[in-house]
Structure 1
């Protein structure tokens, strides 16, 4: 895969491409840290985090390693459509980095390694990740133990959650991974009390109907991060630019919680 073709394929912003092209990272340094990433990912994170321009450097390393990952896709007969869709996550998080920190770079480096290691794929609107269960799950007479393989479902920022789009993603996932896998989702979108904040015809509430809920975490604050873009200890400081922000803020000010729902996809829904 030609590197410029890769950047075009993931629709990376011209300003971000300029940051990459202006980087002073040498080929020798790149190869050294690339090997470190493969050998000891946490040490790689530590080394790059010590750089003054660490966000820009993470953008450089992730785009170049993502381009090299094309070989894995080709050897495993995975389409270019899935390849580019998967790595457009780099573009999404680069945009987020610009909005949050004022630079074109990557701050979510502990998320994007999954893409480089070919553990996660975007199939339509949703992302699907091969992972290991981290707790006991009992479902329809079956018990899933910690360490058993499951497929995690992730919802990218701005994902189309219409009925047609969601069902197409699930169809692709079953074809890609097989129907014998357990598909699980841990997300604020599955928190049951969202019924108090959203209209009946909400795509989010419809999305919840695809899952059997098996656990709720009331302490997790992912919902606040996603709705308000950042978590604040002083709830009164949350913005009210959208109707969901206004409703969620009032809900929280009333002393209530917005938690996390854990669900299993109803394969035979």
Structure 2
């Protein structure tokens, strides 16, 4: 598996991978960056940030590293579809960089290490990250204490959040991770914000996703909803675009002084 082949398999545009790999070859990435990437992630991120073209340099290193990891994932019996779906997070954040800047590159470098290192896996529509609760969580009337092992659910920003695709993904996660070691699916996302119920029509996919969880807390300081819905944060809500029904509803809500925040919710794996 070459870096170029991996880029093609995950849907990364050829212009982006070619540009990056001309800047740093896989051999150079292996000798100069892999040791830090494997042992000292913070130092690696600091080192890559000092490169004259860090957004392309990190893309080159990540492509080379992911390609080098492919035989190890295969040896562990991980199917190709899971490997490439997981590494496909690079293509998502490549497109986001393109959207923000008009140029090839990557954003969310630290976040992408979760996929590269196998600390997160994508199964169908959703991503899953094993961790332990750092504060109690509540499902209906049951409280799960800090330290409970959970699967953190992340929602990649691409295809529609179709209910059947979500259900299929949750079932894949139950089979992949087993239902004894982890007590809960746990999610921290703007998609769980209760305010959405006043902004979306009944039966909307986002609300059906929200219905899967008991939302037991809301962080009103986070503006993730604005960032995801509009693509960027602005100080003046009236300057936000209104190209979709959700954009128009959210823009009006914000202009009236409303806030969305992010919801924090959970559901048992066996529910």
- Give yes or no for TM over 0.5: yes
Number of aligned residues: 268
Whether the 8 Å CA contact 1:123–1:169 is kept in 2: the answer is yes
Change (3 A) 1:204 1:24: closer
Alpha-carbon distance in 1 for matches of 2:36, 2:198: 48
Matches within 5 A, 1:30-179: 30-139=30-139, 141-146=142-147, 148-179=148-179
Gaps (5+ residues) in structure 1?
none
Change (3 A) 1:116 1:175: same
- TM-score, length basis structure 2: 0.93
- TM-score, length basis structure 1: 0.93
Gaps (5+ residues) in structure 2?
none
Whether the 8 Å CA contact 1:86–1:115 is kept in 2: the answer is yes
After superposition, the C-alpha distances for 1:159-185 in whole angstroms (9 at most, x for unaligned) are 332221111000000000111312101
Change (3 A) 1:26 1:13: closer
Matches within 5 A, 1:17-28: 17-25=17-25, 27-28=27-28
Alpha-carbon distance in 2 for matches of 1:8, 1:51: 25
2:234 is aligned to 232
Q: Runs of at least 4 residues of structure 1 off by over 6 A? A: none
| Equivalent position SS for 1:129 | strand
| Equivalent position SS for 1:150 | strand
After superposition, the C-alpha distances for 1:176-200 in whole angstroms (9 at most, x for unaligned) are 0111312101000011110111111
Whether the 8 Å CA contact 2:214–2:267 is kept in 1: the answer is yes
CA deviation after TM superposition for structure 1 residue 144, in Å: 2.7
